[in-house]
Chain A
């Protein structure tokens, strides 16, 4: 297994609003993400899902608390150490974040060209092989603007997987995709995780479908985090905000059959 685990210890993160007041996004949260498994982070808009991802990646710094990646404290890392940390991650951004002035091939080849000493021939072979695997063969000379939403996500996934990451982060991976494409993308996630063995963290509001992938579910709500060992466990929670979350995202679980 390739993946490594992540631990949040009493992490706090807030922002200062324009009027000077402070909005707490994560309030002393504690949780751990097991290695090699898939954790789904769910929650409404503005509840701190993307902030959590950015904290893990070091794109944002926590106000207090510790974040451990593979047992190493990564809070406050800067410069080369932060760079080293990031080489362990692969990220699929919400909009795929492909470089729009580069072709699909150049996008996927970029991490190999910049981060490895591979020859141009080896890079070409590897990139074309992964494009074929992700059903993008024949589209390598297209620009991102010429691709459909699903193809962009697949190209983004291909780019993120080039350096064999230990942790893959997916930020709203199925936003803007139709149900068939969504299903395909999820299958791809499962397949690639099996091959590479990475730890997978999926931030999504595609509930309950995304739960098919989840080994663990974290629900974010008003700065608090609730961790559930399986998607099923959410349904048995007696906390009122979780019951409300389940009701609005998955519908009523029990329906009383009124006898008239």
Chain B
């Protein structure tokens, strides 16, 4: 009984270490795949459209509501100290450094990450990935690395859009609804937001893009080797859920780490 527990524990440990190693190598191959020729421009454009253009609406609405809530909440808190003039800087700093990159990444993970994971998972269980391997076509160059490149371009741009729409949302709530002076809203923003803050937000969005594509495509790619995932359609659904949860948690953890390192 005790021996069985130890064996099982060892087995879990081994499979976890194997999985981590596999994912590490996968990240390396994914990056290498970006530099292999011939570059698949059509696939890259398709992914850019899917990850970037396809996420515009969801990012717009998330950003607008987040900005407006920040405007209202910020006004409520600042009003207590008579510091409504600081609303612009509070909204913009929160959005640019934290909420913009994080919420954009979470939305992209939920929308595009889940789709990428399911697509790769289905390709794996229906032997399409093996078929590519057998034709000596590198699956990374062929359809995984273009996703990474597309995310590296889309996610920072979507983050920028999120910031702008969020700031506009904050303006609508703060200035139009609560009566903050429009001049002080923008003046506060201009005086408090530095290049460093914008760089921090941008670095975060690049890192989050890599995390999302890495975890979501990687989970789908290894759907057949993940311990306890089961088989067939059920394994794809299980792994897709796992991928979205894992990538979202990683985004939040890396958000803290990057803030701690770069601030």
Q: Which residues in A have some Cβ–Cβ distance to B below 8 Å?
A: 16, 18-21, 57, 59, 83-84, 86-87, 89, 91, 93-95, 97-100, 110-111, 114-115, 163
> Do A86 and B135 have beta carbons less than 8 Å apart?
yes
Look across to chain B and name the residue whose beta carbon is closest to the beta carbon of A107. Answer: B131
> Do B137 and A114 have beta carbons less than 8 Å apart?
yes
> Do B131 and A91 have beta carbons less than 8 Å apart?
yes
The A/B interface has a contact count, at CB < 8 Å, of 61
CA distance A111 to B134 in the complex (A): 10
Chain A interface SS verdict (over half): loop
With a CB–CB cut-off of 8 A, which chain B residues contact A99?
123, 128, 131
With a CB–CB cut-off of 8 A, which chain B residues contact A87?
136
Look across to chain A and name the residue whose beta carbon is closest to the beta carbon of B122. Answer: A100
Name A97's contact: one of B7, B130, B136, B228 (CB within 8 Å): B130
> Do A93 and B136 have beta carbons less than 8 Å apart?
no
Given A86-B133, A99-B123: 19 more A-B contacts, CB < 8 Å: A16-B14, A18-B11, A18-B227, A19-B7, A20-B10, A20-B11, A59-B130, A95-B126, A97-B126, A97-B127, A97-B131, A98-B128, A98-B131, A99-B131, A100-B128, A110-B137, A111-B137, A115-B137, A163-B135
Q: Which residues in B have some Cβ–Cβ distance to A below 8 Å?
A: 4, 7-8, 10-11, 14, 122-123, 126-128, 130-131, 133-138, 142, 227-228
CB distance from B34 to the nearest CB of A (A): 17
Q: 19 A-B contacts, Cβ less than 8 Å apart?
A: A16-B14, A18-B11, A18-B227, A19-B4, A20-B7, A20-B8, A20-B10, A59-B134, A84-B136, A86-B133, A86-B136, A95-B127, A97-B130, A99-B128, A100-B122, A110-B135, A110-B137, A114-B135, A115-B135
Look across to chain B and name the residue whose beta carbon is closest to the beta carbon of A90. Answer: B134
> Do A100 and B136 have beta carbons less than 8 Å apart?
no
With a CB–CB cut-off of 8 A, which chain A residues contact B137?
110-111, 114-115
Look across to chain A and name the residue whose beta carbon is closest to the beta carbon of B40. Answer: A114
CB distance from B229 to the nearest CB of A (A): 11
Q: Which of B4, B10, B128, B133 has the most CB atoms of chain A within a 10 A radius of its CB?
A: B128
> Do A89 and B134 have beta carbons less than 8 Å apart?
yes
With a CB–CB cut-off of 8 A, which chain B residues contact A100?
122, 126, 128
CA distance A115 to B38 in the complex (A): 11
CB distance from A19 to the nearest CB of B (A): 6
Closest 3 CB pairs of A and B: A20-B11, A97-B127, A97-B131
With a CB–CB cut-off of 8 A, which chain A residues contact B127?
93-95, 97
With a CB–CB cut-off of 8 A, which chain B residues contact A115?
135-137
> Do B11 and A16 have beta carbons less than 8 Å apart?
yes
CB distance from A179 to the nearest CB of B (A): 25
CA distance A91 to B131 in the complex (A): 8
CA distance A113 to B243 in the complex (A): 33
With a CB–CB cut-off of 8 A, which chain B residues contact A16?
11, 14
With a CB–CB cut-off of 8 A, which chain B residues contact A18?
11, 227-228
With a CB–CB cut-off of 8 A, which chain A residues contact B133?
57, 59, 86
Look across to chain B and name the residue whose beta carbon is closest to the beta carbon of A101. Answer: B119
With a CB–CB cut-off of 8 A, which chain B residues contact A163?
135
With a CB–CB cut-off of 8 A, which chain A residues contact B135?
86, 110-111, 114-115, 163
With a CB–CB cut-off of 8 A, which chain A residues contact B122?
100
With a CB–CB cut-off of 8 A, which chain A residues contact B227?
18
> Do A86 and B126 have beta carbons less than 8 Å apart?
no
> Do A97 and B11 have beta carbons less than 8 Å apart?
no
CA distance A95 to B142 in the complex (A): 21
With a CB–CB cut-off of 8 A, which chain A residues contact B138?
83
Look across to chain B and name the residue whose beta carbon is closest to the beta carbon of A114. Answer: B137
CB distance from A115 to the nearest CB of B (A): 6
CA distance A97 to B126 in the complex (A): 6
CA distance A83 to B134 in the complex (A): 8
CB distance from B210 to the nearest CB of A (A): 24
CA distance A99 to B43 in the complex (A): 14
Look across to chain A and name the residue whose beta carbon is closest to the beta carbon of B228. Answer: A18
> Do B134 and A91 have beta carbons less than 8 Å apart?
yes
With a CB–CB cut-off of 8 A, which chain A residues contact B11?
16, 18-20
Q: Which of B8, B122, B137 has the most CB atoms of chain A within a 10 A radius of its CB?
A: B137
With a CB–CB cut-off of 8 A, which chain A residues contact B134?
57, 59, 86, 89, 91
Look across to chain A and name the residue whose beta carbon is closest to the beta carbon of B7. Answer: A20
Q: Which of B11, B138, B227 has the most CB atoms of chain A within a 10 A radius of its CB?
A: B11
CB distance from A111 to the nearest CB of B (A): 5
CA distance A98 to B142 in the complex (A): 15
CA distance A87 to B133 in the complex (A): 10
With a CB–CB cut-off of 8 A, which chain B residues contact A89?
134
CA distance A111 to B227 in the complex (A): 33
With a CB–CB cut-off of 8 A, which chain B residues contact A57?
133-134
CB distance from B72 to the nearest CB of A (A): 45
Look across to chain A and name the residue whose beta carbon is closest to the beta carbon of B127. Answer: A97
> Do A83 and B136 have beta carbons less than 8 Å apart?
yes
